[in-house]
Amino acid sequence: MQELVKIGFLGITGVLLAAQFKGHKPEYAVYIGFGISIVIFAFALGQVEAILSQMDKVMGYLEGTEGYLAVLVKVLGIAYICEFSAGICKDAGYQSVAGQIEVLGKLAVMFAGLPVLMAVVEMIHGFL
């Protein structure tokens, strides 16, 4: 919890610092925002590592369904990476690029979920 408060304060400090530069040197504001985003994303990756270790324990209990959990983790990773990337592009003023990243993320999530959809269809077909 303390780490989240620190990251929150870091984000607020970065935004306030970037706001100071935005009027005189807007390129510095973008660099500051990008740097703060990278630091926060690195912290988030550390948290993901802890979550993945817990997911390994869960996979040990769920024999035969490891593929579904792997798809879930992959989809979450795609969503977070696309949201992070699109947010940086929006902050830099490139909304069209951000929109394309979001579309790519949605397609990637759909593609990653196809094995689960196929398993459901096969299960339904087996009941008929």
| pTM recorded for the entire structure | 0.65
Q: What is the pLDDT of residues 25-46, one digit of tens each?
A: 888 888 888 888 888 888 888 8
* Region 38-66 average pLDDT: 79
Residue-wise DSSP of 28-43: HHHHHHHHHHHHHHHH
* Closest by Cα among 31, 35, 32, 39 to 16: 32
Q: How far apart are CA 16 and CA 20, in angstroms?
A: 6
Q: The tokens of 105 are what?
A: 């993320």
Residue 87 CB coordination number (10 Å): 14
pLDDT of residue 105: 92
Amino acid, single-letter form, for residue 65? T
